[in-house]
């Protein structure tokens, strides 16, 4: 299957994911435990295992426009996303 690659400059490594190559990642945010990465794409949000690149959760229609901001609560149980569609949403 096709994969996307994200270059993580601080660690000088690349993360290969099973996300569709058609998806453009606009925002990235690590979960507090460092084991997962939240990826904000055009209208969707994905939580990806930062070691394996496996998609753990997908929110396909999170917004109607590009996801421009991601914030994760310190405990990692909630996150907020915002979009060019002028909405902000909270997720459990």
pLDDT one-digit tens code per residue, 35-61: 998 999 888 999 988 888 888 999 999
* Whole-angstrom distance, CA of residue 9 vs CA of residue 20: 22
Tokens of 22: 């058609």
* Whole-angstrom distance, CA of residue 43 vs CA of residue 65: 5
CB 8 within 8 A of CB 49: no
- Quick one: which of 85, 83, 86 has its CA closest to 70? 83
Task: Determine the Cα angle at 87 with ends 64 and 29, to 5°.
Answer: 85
Going by pLDDT thresholds of 50, 70 and 90, the confidence category of residue 7 is: very low
Tokens of 41: 């794409």
pTM of structure: 0.75
Which residues on adjacent β-strands are paired with residue 7? 14
Tokens of 45: 């949000």
């Amino acid at each position: 299957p096709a994969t996307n690659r994200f270059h993580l400059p601080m660690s000088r490594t690349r993360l290969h994911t099973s996300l569709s190559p058609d998806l453009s990642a606009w925002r990235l945010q690590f979960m507090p435990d460092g084991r997962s990465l939240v990826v904000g794409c055009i209208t969707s949000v994905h939580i990806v295992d930062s070691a394996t690149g496996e998609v753990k959760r997908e929110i396909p229609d999170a917004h109607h426009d590009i996801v421009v901001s991601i914030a994760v609560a310190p405990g990692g149980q909630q996150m907020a996303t915002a979009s060019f569609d002028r909405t902000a949403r909270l997720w459990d």
